[in-house]
């Protein structure tokens, strides 16, 4: 019989909460639950605060993670999470309780933060559901907390995976029109939790916007009077060394592939239109690309070339149509080659 169980049986019920809290301090690394009702005292280690939102008056289970305690509904958590059900069963034998509720500790090695657990509860209690309005930060938190490595909410984890797959564009045309929020965290999650459909988009966004160094292709000559890149410094992303190396390798492949395309003056079916390209390619294409890091962003640079008003510069309608089709083909070729460059296998 454990020390806590013995005293819970021997002392009158009136003293049990005090004894429980004292023994919790001894057996759980000095953690004290302070609910504002008198059950608190100084600890040299950690004071656990009742969560300001999820300390429910009719809750039937108290869950502690990091520095917070959550008084919530036992049946709701047990129904969704085999991990919490198993923790409750194994820890209830120790007679740890507060306010008549079993007290369950989430082991630190599971890596569950209070913020992520709060986000998971916000979905379970329909305060912030996983829908089209859910912000990325909320989805990321719920994805982590619901994973098998943390609390294992299988149905919720799969729901978030599907939602992230819709939130982040996975097709070329959609990506060119989108602004991807927190791509570094999104890529980290996509790789860790195998969300294959969005990996290519995220690798491209990070490789082309993370201010990485890139190799100059062999034989490339400097452009005369090329302006110094005056674009603002790029955002600094938080990536693991392994993911940084993959982004760097992708950028090198993109630059090597796109350099001859960018620096080769376009030609057309009609000689007059070819002459116009010869006169305008430097001021309209090469120079703006150099000024805006366009060499490192081939999909966007090709889109800019496509959208130029070539007819206003004298190209005939037929040549404009044919060249735009050719440049779209170049975009698709780059997009398709990225699967090989990244060694991606997209699951159906």
- 286 Cα distance to chain centroid: 34
Pull the structure tokens for residue 299: 């999909």
- 74 Cα distance to chain centroid: 30
Pull the structure tokens for residue 106: 């989430």
Per-residue pLDDT tens digits for 241-288? 999 999 999 999 999 999 999 999 999 999 999 999 999 999 999 999
Q: Which residue has the tokens 């995976």?
A: 161
Q: CA end-to-end span of the chain, whole Å?
A: 54
Output Rg (C-alpha) for the chain, integer angstroms.
Answer: 29
Is the pLDDT assigned to residue 58 strictly greater than 60?
A: yes
Is the pLDDT assigned to residue 348 strictly greater than 90?
A: no
Other Cβ atoms closer than 10 A to 325:
10
Nearest residue to 42 via CA among 30, 56, 58:
30
Buried b vs exposed e over 136-162: b needs ≥16 C-beta within 10 Å? bebbbbbbbbbbeebbbbeebbebbbe
3-state secondary structure 45-71: CEEEEEEEEEECCCCCEEEEECCEEEE
Q: What is the pTM of this model?
A: 0.78
Per-residue pLDDT tens digits for 126-151? 999 999 899 999 999 999 999 999 99
Q: Who has greater pLDDT, 218 or 177? A: 177
Strands (E) across the chain are located at: 31-33, 46-55, 61-65, 68-72, 97-98, 101-105
CA distance 141 to 169: 20
């Amino acid at each position: 019989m454990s020390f806590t169980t013995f005293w819970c049986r021997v002392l009158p019920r009136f003293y049990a909460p005090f004894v429980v809290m004292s023994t919790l301090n001894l057996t759980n690394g000095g953690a004290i639950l302070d609910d504002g009702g008198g059950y608190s005292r100084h600890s040299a280690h950690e004071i656990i605060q009742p969560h300001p939102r999820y300390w429910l008056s009719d809750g039937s289970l108290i869950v502690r993670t990091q520095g917070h305690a959550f008084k919530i509904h036992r049946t709701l958590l047990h129904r969704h999470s085999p991990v919490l059900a198993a923790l409750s069963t194994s820890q209830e034998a120790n007679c740890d309780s507060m306010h008549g509720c079993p007290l369950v500790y989430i082991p630190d090695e599971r890596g569950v933060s209070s913020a992520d657990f709060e986000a998971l509860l916000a979905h379970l209690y329909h305060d912030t559901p996983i829908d089209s309005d859910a912000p990325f930060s909320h989805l990321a938190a719920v994805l982590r907390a619901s994973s098998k490595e943390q609390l294992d909410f299988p149905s919720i984890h799969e729901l978030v995976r599907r939602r992230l797959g819709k939130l982040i564009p996975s097709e070329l045309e959609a990506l060119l029109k989108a602004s991807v929020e927190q791509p570094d965290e999104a890529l980290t999650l996509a790789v860790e939790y195998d969300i294959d459909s969005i990996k290519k988009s995220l690798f491209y966004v990070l490789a082309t916007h993370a201010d990485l160094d890139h190799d100059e292709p062999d034989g490339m000559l400097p452009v005369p009077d090329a302006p110094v890149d005056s674009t603002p410094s790029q955002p600094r992303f938080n990536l693991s060394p392994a993911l940084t190396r993959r982004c760097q390798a992708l950028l090198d492949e993109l630059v090597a592939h796109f350099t001859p395309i960018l620096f080769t003056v376009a030609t057309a079916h009609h000689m007059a239109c070819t002459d116009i390209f010869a006169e305008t390619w430097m001021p309209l294409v090469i120079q703006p690309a150099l000024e805006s890091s366009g060499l490192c962003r081939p999909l966007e640079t090709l889109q800019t070339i496509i959208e130029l008003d070539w007819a206003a510069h004298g190209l005939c309608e037929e040549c404009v149509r044919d060249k735009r089709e050719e440049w779209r083909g170049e975009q698709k070729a780059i997009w398709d080659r990225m699967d090989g460059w990244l060694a991606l296998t997209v699951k159906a």
